[in-house]
Structure 1
Amino acid sequence: MGRQPKQPNRQLADLVTEVRLSRKGLARRVVERGAAVGVELAYDHTAVGRWLGGEQPNPPVPELIAEVLTEVAGRRVTTADCGMVAGQASADIGLEFSLSIAEATAAATALWRSDVERRRFLVGASYAVAVYPAASMRWLTMPGPEHPVSGQGFRRIGQTDVDAVRTMTAAFRDLDNRVGGGKVRATIVQYLHSSVAPLLQSSYPEPIGRQLFATAAELTKLAGWAAYDLEEHGLAQRYLIQALRMSRAAGDAGLGAEILAAMSHQATYVGRPGDAVDLARAAQIAARTAGLAVLESECHMVEAHGHAARSDGSMCATSLNAAERAYDRADHARPPWLDYFDAAYLSAKTAHCFRDLGDTARTAQFAELSLDMSGGYTRGRAFNLCLLASARADEDPHEAVRIGREALALAAGLESRRSLAYLREVRHRLAPHADIPDVAEFRHRVLEVATRAD
């Protein structure tokens, strides 16, 4: 419950009268503005009545009210003008691709700090549909190159400081693959806040600055990926946008392509395949700039998955063929953050495409190939086993259960909501065979695990 002043809010009442906005209209606009930045609200005219009576809503609602009245009044309206107290952070923190490096640094560090503090508007933030297209457009149109400038700190940092962040990033990346995003995300964010933020605000020469922004971008991307793995989609968006901005400050087109591909991956997952295709195509432009054929292959693959999710088999096939051609001309040199993309991963993404197109035979074929994967990718193996089990469910439910049990055993060591989503899909595919004892037992175990996690 917010703070309850003794007097009615005359300032807010005067503003509402000035702009000729009904209580119902103000409530609707605040709810819509919240949805645009991933904050779910449920206000109506009675809530506005309480605000006019002097009730102070919890952050970030005062900022949202001020933004709505700014738009309607055609002039700048602050929270103070509304007779309200501003929170320490705006509801749209992290959702904008900043125009300057200084603004980018401030936005990223503010996001890390707010996340460490578990600010209320970040917890459970929903996916905001407009922000990825805006960020990718700014990525494509922003002039360059940029020149990272030193912060105002007295400390002078160098190569050893950047190398330390790289070492930590590699360790976090390995842990994420082995145990899932839920077990590492909070630690990554704390490290960004307590160790990386002070480095960005220190003094450094430009070559060190570029490396620092690249490593910070990579780790920020990993924090976003971990949030995505937990299905905290609004939070993941904010991290991926800030990672993309820092990769631009670093002048690292390849890393930018990888982050855009991650955005595309998430867009398909949340049911925005059209956006996924657009993001994948932006990623391809960046990958060609970087001159990395294997990265270009990945970007064609995420486009193919977007087309498959739209049930467009023809365009999916075109993108799959482009991905294979790019992969065939790739050499072995690649950045460490791209080590996961190999023939097995290519097969797994192809299996996803055929799954979404309803082709169970080819889903099974490529899911089988995807199991010939490197060690250390526990979560990925659980995903691939679930893909295969789902594809086998109708043809051989006993075999699907055997494969599903292997996936379930791996998932037991993970904290990954996406893993549970894959297991639920296997359970759903086995529903027609629920009268078979081992199928019934497996479906019950999946339900128990999923319920316990929820």
Structure 2
Amino acid sequence: MTLSGDAISRLLTEVGWQPEQLARRLNECAERHGRTERLHLKTPYKWKKGDVPRSPWPSLTIALLSEQLRRAVTLDELGWPDDGFEAMTASAGLELPWSPAGALQAAEVVNEPEGMMHRRMFLTLLGSALTSPAHEWLITQQPLDVASTTGRPLSGEVVDHLDAVTASLRRMDDHLGSGQTLGLVREHLSIVVGVLRNRRYPDTIGRRLHTTAGELLRLAGWLSFDNGHHSQAQRFWIAGLYQAHTAGDRGLGANILGFMSCQAKDLGQLRQAVTLAETARASYPGTSPKVAAILDLRAAEAYANNQSVADARRALDSAFDRLADNRPEYGDPDWAYWINEAQAHAQAGYCYVKLEDWSRAREHLRAALRLQGNEYSREGALRNALLATTYVRQGHPDLDKALALGDQAVDTLTGQVTSARCIKHVRNLVGSLTPYRRTPTVHRFCQDARDLIAT
């Protein structure tokens, strides 16, 4: 056995893993960080014999082992050469003052040109590191003045135009999905950051600009998350919290925490998902029923994934009650446009799928599709995939209904919308159909879905 083989063997013994376990963990790690590469489960046996892994496995291996052993494991310790990547946590470069200058720097750090980041591999925050930015945002005192005294003066009319573009980008995402929209969001964010950096404005305009930047960072994080790039999403959202703090916009900050909660439950960080969702609810002092309903629904999702049935139902009931109170004087922010009865039913349906209450899940998902109409959108694809799953997993499966709904989801995601998150639900549907794969119609559907879920 070579020196490198002896080193990886020793570390596997220290962490208590067989080579197959290492391969599985590395594949999970690669998926979590938006990588397409996958290891064969037997490959680490070759490493024990002295073979050197190809990129990105050296960087991912030392990051994974460092996390498990709670100490720094290096490539030198393993006897492996530099693979061209620099692994760092998703919060790297974002340990900044909670001030206007810190907020501006945070936006610039996360939105730097991708060519400058080609060597960096950001590692997704987990555990307490995931909730730490939320805690800092919650307890830090807000700045008294965010005015700028340099450059040419800026009028509120310019901010109106910037916000109009932001609103268009939000709605573009609904129909095109993450893959086709993120680049445009980053370009617009660069313009807003440039205005913040180079123009003169009073406190009121400055707060509006930071709110605009924060919403663009929230949207960029959502698009990254929807496309499966978790660490990138976290970086955008942390930077967004800096903007929300500087703007004094508690609603925006709470909404960002809600999205972070949504991601946490997808990463299997169920306790952290609840913590983030409840922090978001507790931190929002505003009166907008739509915003409060959004935060209730995020909490319901977190509780459902945690199998806390009573808490999930209470949060769902609260969300529907708030949406019924639609008096116009509350002044809902534009970013809350998407929450309506159809979306609330869709998220309730998702919760009941997680709780394996198939009849309630179907009731809500059907209501969502009925209220939505026949629109081909990412949300329509998601609802069809979830509804199809209920027909497969009920006591007596109805494969015909499941496959008809699955076909609609595949059709939308193949020709209309890009969304790795929705494709994951189609992949889960295919997995649920595995016991019936010898049925010709099931075999045909799985073949049709093969190219889609391979992406």
Quickly name the TM-score band, shorter chain normalised. 0.7 to 0.9
1:238-290, CA deviations, whole angstroms, 9 ceiling, x for partnerless residues?
A: 10111122012111111122111111111111111211111111111233x12
Match of 1:42 in 2: 62
TM-score, with length taken from structure 1 = 0.78
* In 1: Cα distance, 2:125 partner to 2:333 partner: 29
* In 2: Cα distance, 1:163 partner to 1:99 partner: 26
Instruction: Note the C-alpha offset of 1:316.
Output: 1.5
Instruction: Tell which deviates more after alignment, 278-287 or 348-357.
Output: 278-287
* In 2: Cα distance, 1:330 partner to 1:283 partner: 21
Match of 1:69 in 2: none
Match of 1:197 in 2: 193
1:400-435, CA deviations, whole angstroms, 9 ceiling, x for partnerless residues?
A: 111111111111122211121011122122222222
Match of 1:265 in 2: 262
* In 2: Cα distance, 1:335 partner to 1:105 partner: 23
* In 2: Cα distance, 1:260 partner to 1:232 partner: 17
1:389 lines up with 2:388 in the alignment: yes
1:295 lines up with 2:291 in the alignment: yes
1:426 lines up with 2:429 in the alignment: yes
1:417 lines up with 2:414 in the alignment: no
Question: Aligned to 2:62, what secondary structure does the other structure show?
Answer: coil
1:79-113, CA deviations, whole angstroms, 9 ceiling, x for partnerless residues?
A: xxxxxxxxxxx974354464222112112112211
Instruction: Note the C-alpha offset of 1:318.
Output: 2.2
Q: CA, structure 1 residues 369+56, in 2 after alignment: closer, same or farther (shift >3 Å)?
A: closer
* Runs (5+) with no aligned partner, structure 2: 1-9, 16-28, 34-58, 64-72
Contact 2:98 2:246 survives alignment (8 Å): no
Contact 2:261 2:298 survives alignment (8 Å): yes
Match of 2:146 in 1: 148
TM-score, with length taken from structure 2 = 0.78
* In 1: Cα distance, 2:95 partner to 2:305 partner: 27
Instruction: Tell which deviates more after alignment, 232-241 or 200-209.
Output: 200-209
Contact 1:378 1:410 survives alignment (8 Å): yes
Match of 1:448 in 2: 451
Q: CA, structure 1 residues 187+286, in 2 after alignment: closer, same or farther (shift >3 Å)?
A: same
Instruction: Note the C-alpha offset of 1:392.
Output: 1.4
Q: For 1:401, which of 400, 403, 408 is the aligned residue?
A: 403
Contact 2:128 2:272 survives alignment (8 Å): no
Contact 1:261 1:279 survives alignment (8 Å): yes
1:52-87, CA deviations, whole angstroms, 9 ceiling, x for partnerless residues?
A: xxx8885746xx7xxxxxxxxxxxxxxxxxxxxxxx
Contact 1:94 1:238 survives alignment (8 Å): no
Question: Aligned to 2:372, what secondary structure does the other structure show?
Answer: coil
Instruction: Tell which deviates more after alignment, 96-105 or 291-300.
Output: 96-105
Question: Aligned to 2:120, what secondary structure does the other structure show?
Answer: coil
Which amino acid in structure 1 is aligned with residue 435 of structure 2? Answer: P
1:10-29, CA deviations, whole angstroms, 9 ceiling, x for partnerless residues?
A: xxxxxxxxxxxxx99xxx9x
1:318-367, CA deviations, whole angstroms, 9 ceiling, x for partnerless residues?
A: 22222233333343542221111111111111111111111111111111
Q: Which structure 2 residues correspond to residues 37-436 of structure 1 after superposition, within 5 A?
A: 40-42=60-62, 47-48=76-77, 60=86, 92-93=91-92, 95-96=94-95, 98-115=97-114, 117-122=116-121, 125-144=123-142, 146-150=144-148, 152=150, 154-193=151-190, 195-202=191-198, 203-287=200-284, 289-332=285-328, 333-371=331-369, 372-373=371-372, 378-394=377-393, 395-412=397-414, 413-436=416-439
Contact 1:151 1:201 survives alignment (8 Å): no
Which amino acid in structure 2 is aligned with residue 442 of structure 1? Answer: F
* In 1: Cα distance, 2:131 partner to 2:90 partner: 19
Contact 2:349 2:364 survives alignment (8 Å): yes
Instruction: Note the C-alpha offset of 1:199.
Output: 0.7
* Runs (5+) with no aligned partner, structure 1: 1-22, 29-34, 65-89
Match of 2:54 in 1: none
* In 2: Cα distance, 1:120 partner to 1:354 partner: 42
Which amino acid in structure 1 is aligned with residue 136 of structure 2? Answer: R
Q: CA, structure 1 residues 236+98, in 2 after alignment: closer, same or farther (shift >3 Å)?
A: farther
Question: Aligned to 1:326, what secondary structure does the other structure show?
Answer: helix
Instruction: Note the C-alpha offset of 1:377.
Output: 7.2
Which amino acid in structure 1 is aligned with residue 411 of structure 2? Answer: A
* In 2: Cα distance, 1:251 partner to 1:376 partner: 37
Which amino acid in structure 1 is aligned with residue 220 of structure 2? Answer: A
Contact 2:62 2:74 survives alignment (8 Å): no
Instruction: Note the C-alpha offset of 1:375.
Output: 7.9
* In 1: Cα distance, 2:254 partner to 2:90 partner: 27
Q: CA, structure 1 residues 157+351, in 2 after alignment: closer, same or farther (shift >3 Å)?
A: same
